[in-house]
Amino acid sequence: MTTLTVASRSVADTARLATVVATELRPRDVVLLTGDLGAGKTTFTKALCAALGVTDNVTSPTFTLVHEYRGSKLTVCHADLYRLERTGELIDLGLDDARRSGAILVVEWGDLAGDEFTDALVLAFTHVGDTERNVDVSSRGTAWEPRFTRLTAALRAGVDA
Ligand SMILES: Nc1ncnc2c1ncn2[C@@H]1O[C@H](COP(=O)(O)OP(=O)(O)OP(=O)(O)O)[C@@H](O)[C@H]1O
Ligand SMILES: [Mg+2]
Protein backbone atom coordinates (compact mmCIF):
# COMPACT_ATOMS: atom_id res chain seq x y z
CA MET A 1 0.00 0.00 0.00
CA THR A 2 1.33 3.41 -0.94
CA THR A 3 1.81 6.15 1.60
CA LEU A 4 2.21 9.77 0.67
CA THR A 5 3.85 12.02 3.22
CA VAL A 6 2.55 15.56 3.18
CA ALA A 7 4.66 18.14 5.01
CA SER A 8 2.58 20.73 6.83
CA ARG A 9 4.39 23.85 7.97
CA SER A 10 1.40 25.56 9.55
CA VAL A 11 -2.23 25.21 10.58
CA ALA A 12 -3.08 26.73 7.19
CA ASP A 13 -1.21 23.91 5.42
CA THR A 14 -3.13 21.32 7.43
CA ALA A 15 -6.37 23.10 6.52
CA ARG A 16 -5.40 23.01 2.84
CA LEU A 17 -4.78 19.27 3.11
CA ALA A 18 -8.26 18.86 4.61
CA THR A 19 -9.79 20.86 1.77
CA VAL A 20 -8.23 18.56 -0.82
CA VAL A 21 -9.29 15.43 1.10
CA ALA A 22 -12.85 16.80 1.31
CA THR A 23 -13.15 16.83 -2.47
CA GLU A 24 -12.87 13.01 -2.53
CA LEU A 25 -15.30 12.21 0.27
CA ARG A 26 -18.63 10.50 -0.24
CA PRO A 27 -21.43 9.41 2.10
CA ARG A 28 -20.42 6.62 4.52
CA ASP A 29 -16.68 7.16 4.10
CA VAL A 30 -14.39 6.62 7.06
CA VAL A 31 -11.39 8.85 7.77
CA LEU A 32 -9.10 7.57 10.53
CA LEU A 33 -6.78 10.09 12.17
CA THR A 34 -3.84 8.95 14.26
CA GLY A 35 -1.03 10.76 16.06
CA ASP A 36 -0.04 12.03 19.50
CA LEU A 37 -1.79 14.62 21.61
CA GLY A 38 -1.66 17.96 19.82
CA ALA A 39 -0.54 16.43 16.54
CA GLY A 40 -3.31 18.18 14.60
CA LYS A 41 -6.21 15.73 14.32
CA THR A 42 -8.88 18.15 15.56
CA THR A 43 -7.34 21.02 13.60
CA PHE A 44 -7.63 18.89 10.46
CA THR A 45 -11.23 17.91 11.31
CA LYS A 46 -12.31 21.54 11.76
CA ALA A 47 -11.05 22.41 8.28
CA LEU A 48 -12.55 19.25 6.80
CA CYS A 49 -15.95 20.13 8.29
CA ALA A 50 -15.71 23.67 6.97
CA ALA A 51 -14.94 22.33 3.49
CA LEU A 52 -18.04 20.12 3.72
CA GLY A 53 -20.22 23.09 4.49
CA VAL A 54 -20.47 22.79 8.27
CA THR A 55 -21.08 26.21 9.79
CA ASP A 56 -21.27 25.07 13.46
CA ASN A 57 -18.26 25.50 15.67
CA VAL A 58 -16.43 22.16 15.61
CA THR A 59 -14.98 21.18 18.99
CA SER A 60 -13.10 18.16 20.25
CA PRO A 61 -15.51 15.39 21.35
CA THR A 62 -13.14 14.41 24.17
CA PHE A 63 -15.81 13.66 26.78
CA THR A 64 -18.88 12.78 24.75
CA LEU A 65 -16.71 10.82 22.29
CA VAL A 66 -18.98 11.73 19.35
CA HIS A 67 -20.28 14.94 17.79
CA GLU A 68 -22.39 15.13 14.66
CA TYR A 69 -22.44 18.09 12.29
CA ARG A 70 -24.71 18.59 9.33
CA GLY A 71 -22.86 20.23 6.48
CA SER A 72 -24.34 21.45 3.21
CA LYS A 73 -22.40 18.71 1.37
CA LEU A 74 -22.22 15.86 3.89
CA THR A 75 -23.03 15.06 7.50
CA VAL A 76 -19.92 14.51 9.59
CA CYS A 77 -19.82 12.20 12.58
CA HIS A 78 -16.69 13.21 14.52
CA ALA A 79 -15.47 10.70 17.09
CA ASP A 80 -12.52 10.73 19.46
CA LEU A 81 -11.57 7.30 20.81
CA TYR A 82 -8.90 8.52 23.24
CA ARG A 83 -11.11 7.74 26.24
CA LEU A 84 -12.51 4.53 24.85
CA GLU A 85 -11.90 1.85 27.44
CA ARG A 86 -12.55 -1.27 25.41
CA THR A 87 -12.94 -1.81 21.68
CA GLY A 88 -16.38 -3.29 22.54
CA GLU A 89 -17.54 0.18 23.56
CA LEU A 90 -17.24 1.26 19.93
CA ILE A 91 -20.60 -0.35 19.26
CA ASP A 92 -22.26 1.91 21.82
CA LEU A 93 -21.11 5.05 20.05
CA GLY A 94 -23.68 4.68 17.29
CA LEU A 95 -21.13 5.16 14.53
CA ASP A 96 -22.70 2.41 12.42
CA ASP A 97 -26.12 4.05 12.58
CA ALA A 98 -24.68 7.42 11.65
CA ARG A 99 -22.88 5.83 8.76
CA ARG A 100 -25.95 3.95 7.58
CA SER A 101 -27.79 7.24 7.44
CA GLY A 102 -25.07 8.54 5.11
CA ALA A 103 -22.74 10.41 7.45
CA ILE A 104 -19.00 10.22 7.00
CA LEU A 105 -17.00 9.18 10.06
CA VAL A 106 -13.94 11.12 11.11
CA VAL A 107 -12.27 9.24 13.92
CA GLU A 108 -9.49 10.67 16.08
CA TRP A 109 -7.24 8.04 17.66
CA GLY A 110 -8.56 5.83 14.87
CA ASP A 111 -5.89 3.22 15.59
CA LEU A 112 -7.85 2.33 18.75
CA ALA A 113 -10.64 1.00 16.51
CA GLY A 114 -8.36 -1.85 15.43
CA ASP A 115 -9.64 -3.55 12.29
CA GLU A 116 -13.22 -2.35 12.76
CA PHE A 117 -13.16 -0.34 9.54
CA THR A 118 -12.05 -2.31 6.50
CA ASP A 119 -12.28 0.61 4.07
CA ALA A 120 -10.81 3.88 5.25
CA LEU A 121 -8.60 6.79 4.44
CA VAL A 122 -5.88 6.97 7.08
CA LEU A 123 -3.98 10.10 8.05
CA ALA A 124 -1.13 9.70 10.53
CA PHE A 125 0.09 12.97 12.05
CA THR A 126 3.54 13.32 13.55
CA HIS A 127 5.20 16.28 15.23
CA VAL A 128 8.25 17.62 13.44
CA GLY A 129 8.57 21.01 15.14
CA ASP A 130 6.45 23.69 16.81
CA THR A 131 4.34 24.36 13.75
CA GLU A 132 5.53 21.54 11.52
CA ARG A 133 3.83 18.21 11.12
CA ASN A 134 4.22 15.29 8.74
CA VAL A 135 1.02 13.65 7.62
CA ASP A 136 1.28 10.14 6.19
CA VAL A 137 -1.73 9.58 3.96
CA SER A 138 -2.68 6.00 3.11
CA SER A 139 -5.83 3.99 2.54
CA ARG A 140 -7.34 0.67 3.50
CA GLY A 141 -9.58 -1.55 1.42
CA THR A 142 -10.47 -1.68 -2.24
CA ALA A 143 -13.18 1.01 -2.04
CA TRP A 144 -10.49 3.67 -1.72
CA GLU A 145 -8.04 2.48 -4.36
CA PRO A 146 -9.08 4.56 -7.40
CA ARG A 147 -9.85 7.61 -5.29
CA PHE A 148 -6.61 7.27 -3.38
CA THR A 149 -4.65 7.49 -6.62
CA ARG A 150 -6.56 10.66 -7.54
CA LEU A 151 -6.15 12.11 -4.08
CA THR A 152 -2.40 11.58 -3.96
CA ALA A 153 -2.06 13.10 -7.44
CA ALA A 154 -4.01 16.17 -6.27
CA LEU A 155 -1.91 16.42 -3.10
CA ARG A 156 1.34 16.11 -5.04
CA ALA A 157 0.18 18.84 -7.42
CA GLY A 158 -0.69 20.99 -4.41
CA VAL A 159 2.76 20.49 -2.93
CA ASP A 160 4.39 21.55 -6.18
CA ALA A 161 2.12 24.60 -6.61
N1 LIG B 1 1.07 22.38 11.03
C2 LIG B 1 0.13 22.24 11.98
N3 LIG B 1 -0.95 21.46 11.76
C4 LIG B 1 -1.89 21.29 12.73
N5 LIG B 1 -1.83 21.87 13.95
C6 LIG B 1 -0.78 22.66 14.22
C7 LIG B 1 0.25 22.87 13.26
N8 LIG B 1 1.17 23.71 13.80
C9 LIG B 1 0.74 24.00 15.03
N10 LIG B 1 -0.43 23.39 15.29
C11 LIG B 1 -1.13 23.50 16.59
O12 LIG B 1 -1.08 22.23 17.21
C13 LIG B 1 -2.27 22.02 17.93
C14 LIG B 1 -2.95 20.77 17.40
O15 LIG B 1 -4.01 20.49 18.27
P16 LIG B 1 -5.18 19.51 17.90
O17 LIG B 1 -6.21 19.70 18.95
O18 LIG B 1 -5.54 19.65 16.49
O19 LIG B 1 -4.44 18.11 18.11
P20 LIG B 1 -5.08 16.66 18.24
O21 LIG B 1 -4.23 15.79 17.40
O22 LIG B 1 -6.53 16.72 17.94
O23 LIG B 1 -4.84 16.32 19.76
P24 LIG B 1 -5.69 15.37 20.74
O25 LIG B 1 -5.10 14.01 20.63
O26 LIG B 1 -5.48 15.98 22.08
O27 LIG B 1 -7.13 15.38 20.32
C28 LIG B 1 -3.15 23.25 17.77
O29 LIG B 1 -2.93 24.10 18.87
C30 LIG B 1 -2.61 23.86 16.47
O31 LIG B 1 -2.77 25.26 16.44
MG1 LIG C 1 -8.21 16.17 19.01
Residue 134 pLDDT > 60, yes or no? yes
Label residue 117 by pLDDT band (50, 70, 90): very high
Structural domain contains residue 2:
no
59-102: pLDDT as tens digits? 999 888 999 999 999 999 999 999 988 777 888 899 999 999 99
Structural domain contains residue 108:
yes
- Ligand 1 center to residue 68 CA distance, Å? 20
Q: Give the whole-number percent of the chain exceeding pLDDT 70.
A: 98
Range of the domain at 114: 11-135+144-160
Residue 92: per-residue pLDDT: 86
Residue 159: per-residue pLDDT: 61
Sheet of 75-80: strand order equals 4-8, 133-140, 120-127, 30-34, 104-108, 75-80, 66-70
- Please tell me if the CB atom of residue 108 comes closer than 6 angstroms to any atom of ligand 1: yes
Mutate which of 13, 16, 43 for ligand 1 pocket (most atoms within 8 A of beta carbon): 43
Residue 161 pLDDT > 70, yes or no? no
b/e per residue 112-143 (b: at least 16 CB within 10 A): bbeebbeebbbbbbeeeeeeebebebbbbeeb
CATH number of the domain that 73 lies in?
Answer: 3.40.50.300
Structural domain contains residue 3:
no
